[in-house]
Chain A
Amino acid sequence: MALLPVALTVTSCKREERNFNTPPPNVSEAQTNPSFKNPLEENAYSLSEGKRLFSQYNCNGCHAQGGGGMGPALMDEKWIYGARPEQVFATIVEGRPNGMPSFRDRVPETQVWQLSAYVRSLSGHVPKDAASSRDDHMQGKPPESRTKEQPIKNTSPP
């Protein structure tokens, strides 16, 4: 019984770490390794940074808060260009037809990984203890920590 608080503390350490100078995950390794996992998805700070960047880089201009508008919804089960972390990374960096800009060089790699983690959290694909439990703006939907993990359906572009 005495071990329980110790165990809880130890397991939550990774969630709470804030490393400001660590190099981002290696992109080529991410794209060749089929079982790549974005370590930032387990980190609450990175997910909240992704949320901040999503708003500050005006992703909500086209994607709203995940509901979409000019751009597709990000919180549903439909994925046009792939739902894996490195695929979302590629979408942000390369841009996509019909209006998704390319952010290569404009958004540093670490931040793209944070954004990729956040986008995946919108449809519930990140550990719930790291996902954000409160929005800084008016909430239109339950927070990511209470978002059910959606299935992944690959669809074609509209």
Chain B
Amino acid sequence: MRARQINWGFLTWVALVNTTVAATTQSSVDPAGPQAQHISQLWWVMLYLLTGVFILVMSLLSIGAFRRRSKAAETSGRNVIQTDSLRETKMARVVMGGVVVTTVILFALLVSSFIVGRTIYSIPKEPTVLTIDITGHQWWWDVRYENQVASQIVTTANEIHIPVGRQILFKLNSADVIHSFWVPNLHGKTDLIPGHPAETWLKADRTGVYRGQCAEFCGHQHAHMAFEVVVESEEQFQAWYESQLKSAPAQLTSSQSRGLQLFLSKPCVMCHTIQGTDAGGKVGPDLTHLASRQTIAAGALQNNRTNLSRWILNSQDVKPGNHMPPIPLNSEELNFVLDYLESLK
């Protein structure tokens, strides 16, 4: 395709996708909470206003570009610019008018942007029902539900469940480089800066699964560092929380217990934790309830047996450069390990 040829087919497809499919997951123009609502409103105001400005400016430009010269100049044969003091004054007034209108519009946008920022941060914070610590790692999300009672702390990875209609406090930090926490349906971006903890409040007003992803370049797999926020009813959230508090099942079939043995004698145990077993590695995500998650590898793969085996045998093919090495397992050992991992609901 030559550089000057415009691929109209592709552009049409992009336009259609962005207008029809946009109103679903991972979309800032489909707000599901008050923070995102304000941001979205500001966005639309800016879009309409500035589209108007754009059309106006382009029309004036076209008029200027396509206007015919006056008859006098054409017939006289000399390139003379006729100066006419009355016309000059009129033109000067038009230009001044343009400058004034532009300044006013810019200030209006500045003020409305400021107001939106203030509004978001003064959305009333109810007594904190839930505080979630998010620690960004290269390239996954460590999620820890705070609780005064240590045995009630839930640690998981890459999938965050919250109850609908409540303000949730997120405490953000990073274990290595700067990441950014962004769930477009719920809020804007908040950076996770190592050594500089930040806080953000999210509230979701309707249930659903909202995808978020890292919004600050953080290395090789920044593009594959996604997470899901699952907003559910209070009862469903409590049920999920109770199940996450449980340790890994102690009653195992023979193939599952062989899988656990393999887990403990292979590189797995060096990095991963499974509560209720001897595996206590803190380098990688907590796997205690791996089978309860929708995706693995920070949203890179759907959580099913095929993808798990792909990931375990050579994660470097899926996310090259990520910190999990290929694990050498023959097919029999792999089956035992998968049987065990599938039991971690």
Interface residues, chain A, with chain B CB atoms under 8 Å away = 18, 20-21, 52, 56-57, 105-108, 110-111, 136
From B268, which residue of chain A is reached at the shortest CB distance?
A: A106
Contacts of A111 in B (CB 8 A): 325
Task: Give the size range of B's interface with the partner.
Answer: 10 to 19
Q: Is the CB of B270 within 8 A of A110?
A: no
Question: In the bound complex, do residue B320 and residue A106 qualify as a contact, i.e. CB atoms below 8 Å apart?
Answer: no
Interface SS, B side = loop
Contact assessment for B270 and A105 in the assembled complex, using a CB-CB cutoff below 8 Å: no
* Cross-chain contact A106 with B265 (CB below 8 angstroms): yes
In the complex, what's the smallest C-beta–C-beta distance from B337 to chain A, in angstroms? 14
Q: At the interface, yes or no: B267 with Cβ under 8 Å from chain A?
A: yes
Known: A20-B316, A56-B271. A105 touches B325 (CB 8 A): no
Q: What's the minimum C-beta distance from A67 to chain B, rounded to whole angstroms? A: 23
A146 to B339, CA, bound (A): 50
Smallest beta-carbon distance A138→chain B, Å:
12
A122 to B176, CA, bound (A): 22
Determine whether the beta carbon of A108 is less than 8 Å from that of B321: no
Would A20 and B266 count as touching, CB distance under 8 A?
Answer: no
The answer to whether A57 touches B270 (Cβ under 8 A) is yes
Residues on B with C-beta less than 8 A from A136 are: 176
Q: Is B317 interfacial (CB 8 A cutoff)? A: yes
B283 within 8 A of A: yes
Q: Out of A52, A105, A108, name the residue touching B326 (CB < 8 Å).
A: A108
- Cα A105 to Cα B261 in complex, Å, equals 13
- The majority secondary structure among interface residues of chain A is loop
Taking the closest CB of chain A, its distance from the CB of B306, in whole angstroms, is: 20
Chain A residues within 8 Å of B267, by CB: 105-108
Q: Do A106 and B325 touch (CB < 8 A)?
A: no
Q: Contact: A108 with B325, CB < 8 Å?
A: yes
State which residues 295-345 of B face A: CB under 8 Å. Answer: 314, 316-317, 320-321, 323, 325-328
Given contacts A20-B321, A21-B314, contact A108 B283 (CB under 8 A): no
The reply to whether B270 and A106 form a contact with Cβ atoms under 8 Å apart is yes
Taking the complex as formed, is B269 at the interface, i.e. its CB lies under 8 A from any CB of chain A? Answer: yes
Q: Taking A57-B270, A136-B176 as given, write out 18 further A-B residue pairs in contact, using a Cβ cutoff of 8 Å, ordered by the A residue number.
A: A18-B220, A18-B321, A20-B320, A21-B317, A21-B326, A56-B283, A106-B265, A106-B266, A106-B267, A106-B269, A106-B270, A107-B267, A107-B270, A108-B325, A108-B326, A108-B327, A108-B328, A111-B325
Instruction: Identify the 8 closest CB pairs spanning chains A and B, nearest first.
Output: A108-B325, A20-B316, A20-B320, A56-B283, A21-B316, A20-B321, A106-B270, A108-B267
A44 to B328: give the CA distance in the assembly, Å. Answer: 25
**CB proximity of A118 to chain B, nearest CB, Å:** 15
* Separation of A83 and B321 alpha carbons in the complex (Å): 29
A95 to chain B, nearest CB (A): 15
Chain B residues near A57: list those with CB within 8 A.
270, 283
- For residue A136, give the distance in angstroms from its CB to the closest CB of chain B: 8
Q: Whole-angstrom distance between the alpha carbons of A110 and B316 in the complex? A: 13
In the bound complex, what is the Cα–Cα distance between A7 and B267 (angstroms)?
A: 41
Contact A105 B265 (CB under 8 A): yes
A92: shortest Cβ distance to chain B, in Å?
13
Q: Closest residue to B322 on the A side, CB-wise?
A: A20
Interfacial chain A residues near B316, Cβ < 8 Å:
20-21
A contact residues around B283 at 8 Å (CB): 56-57
**Residues on the B chain within 8 Å of A107, using CB:** 267, 270
| Chain A residues, CB < 8 A from B220 | 18
Q: Mark B263-284, 1 if CB is under 8 A from A, else 0.
A: 0011101110000000000010
- Whole-angstrom distance between the Cβ of A113 and the nearest chain B Cβ: 12
